């Protein structure tokens, strides 16, 4: 009898919680989104922290633990939460740290700031030092992969391995669909100015996007639109900098795993072949049916692929 009553109470509590969540979703979707993000971080074992580095307040997630950590660097327009679903699989085996680069996410993002690859490398180095770390494994996606690879070339004795996911910066690769579109029309799908352009952007960067309810998509679109001027300035800075990796990483002996979605429209998968030719201690994975953001499109597969790389190289 007591057990039956307890089950009824738990069922009622669950129903009330569900009703409350649905009400928040309907009335205040931004609050619902914040709660969902916090829940995903908690389930991945990641805690939010802040650190002052080079005049910037940098916000980051840290799973704790010992040993040389895996520091993860997001791509253009993204943030630290890009890595949360991957971290859920990685964290039981590794210490995972994911930061918001200055200019992105919750970190300080002055409109008049400068956000070149070279400057972000030095900020990342300052961040690593501020955490008291002297040796790390680095992972980076898209722009973040360019930053991670440049960091490794600049501070080779401080990096144990590299995980590069659809990294930008390979100038000799064939132009991507996105790059051709920018050249032909002057329109950058990565910098949406309207709700419709935000939805179109999702199609450009993901072949298999995770489910995103309409109300939450609207909140995310509003945030992207609010950053339109900042992102436009940042992209222009990156174009002017013209940072390419070929000479920088040619012959670099650091163990490197390159991961790419075969349906990537944002950065041409041809870059993989260039990198295999210049990185003597590297391997690759091409993921069928996946676009530019494997961490969101296939998080478990992406994480297990990385763990296999670490096991193979005994890292």
Active site residues: 74, 142
Q: Give bridge partners of residue 259 from the DSSP assignment.
A: 165, 285
Name the residue with tokens 């795993």: 257
Assess contact for 173 and 104: CB atoms under 8 A.
Answer: no
Q: For residue 142, is it left (φ>0), alpha (ψ between -120 and 50) or beta?
A: left
Name the residue with tokens 């679109």: 221
Residues 21, 25, 28, 29, CA torsion sign: positive
Burial per residue of 9-18, b for 16 or more beta-carbon CB atoms within 10 angstroms, e otherwise = eeeeeeeeee
Assess contact for 191 and 221: CB atoms under 8 A.
Answer: no
The string of DSSP letters for 3-28 reads HHHHHHHHHHHHHHHHHHHHHHHHH-
141: which 2 tokens? Answer: 């996606």
Give the contacts of 17 (CB within 8 A, at least 6 positions apart).
none
Q: Which helix (H) or strand (E) holds 89?
A: helix 84-90
Name the residue with tokens 């997630």: 61
Q: How far is CA 137 from the centre of its chain?
A: 15
108: which 2 tokens? Answer: 């300080």
Report the C-alpha gap between 168 and 77 in whole angstroms.
14
Which residues of 149-300 form beta strands (DSSP E)?
159-165, 256-261, 282-287
Q: Which helix (H) or strand (E) holds 98?
A: strand 96-99
């Amino acid at each position: 009898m007591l057990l039956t009553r307890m089950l009824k109470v738990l069922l009622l509590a669950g129903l009330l919680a569900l009703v409350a969540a649905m009400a928040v979703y309907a009335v205040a979707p931004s609050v619902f989104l914040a709660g969902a993000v916090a829940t995903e971080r908690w389930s991945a074992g990641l805690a939010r922290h802040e650190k002052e580095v080079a005049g910037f307040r940098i916000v980051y997630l840290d799973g704790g633990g010992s040993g040389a950590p895996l520091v993860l660097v997001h791509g253009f327009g993204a943030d630290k939460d890009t890595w949360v679903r991957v971290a859920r699989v990685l964290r039981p085996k590794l210490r995972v740290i994911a930061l918001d680069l200055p200019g992105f996410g919750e970190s300080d993002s002055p409109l008049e700031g400068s956000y070149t690859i070279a400057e972000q490398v030095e900020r990342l180095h300052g961040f690593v030092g501020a955490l008291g770390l002297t040796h790390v494994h680095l992972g980076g996606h898209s722009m973040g992969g360019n930053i991670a690879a440049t960091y490794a070339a600049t501070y080779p004795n401080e990096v144990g391995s590299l995980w590069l996911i659809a990294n930008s910066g390979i100038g000799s690769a064939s132009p991507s669909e996105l790059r051709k579109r920018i050249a032909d029309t002057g329109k950058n799908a990565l910098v949406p100015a309207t709700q419709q352009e935000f939805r179109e952007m999702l199609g450009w960067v993901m072949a298999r996007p995770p489910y995103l309810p309409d109300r939450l998509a609207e909140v995310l679109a509003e945030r992207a639109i609010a950053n339109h001027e900042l992102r436009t300035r940042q992209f222009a800075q990156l174009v002017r900098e013209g940072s390419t990796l070929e000479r920088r990483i040619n012959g670099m002996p650091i163990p490197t795993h390159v991961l790419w979605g075969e349906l990537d429209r944002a950065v041409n998968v041809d870059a993989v072949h260039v990198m295999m030719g210049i990185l003597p201690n590297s391997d690759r994975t091409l993921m069928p049916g996946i676009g530019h953001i494997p961490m969101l499109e296939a998080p478990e597969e992406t994480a297990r692929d990385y763990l296999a790389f670490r096991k193979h190289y005994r890292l």
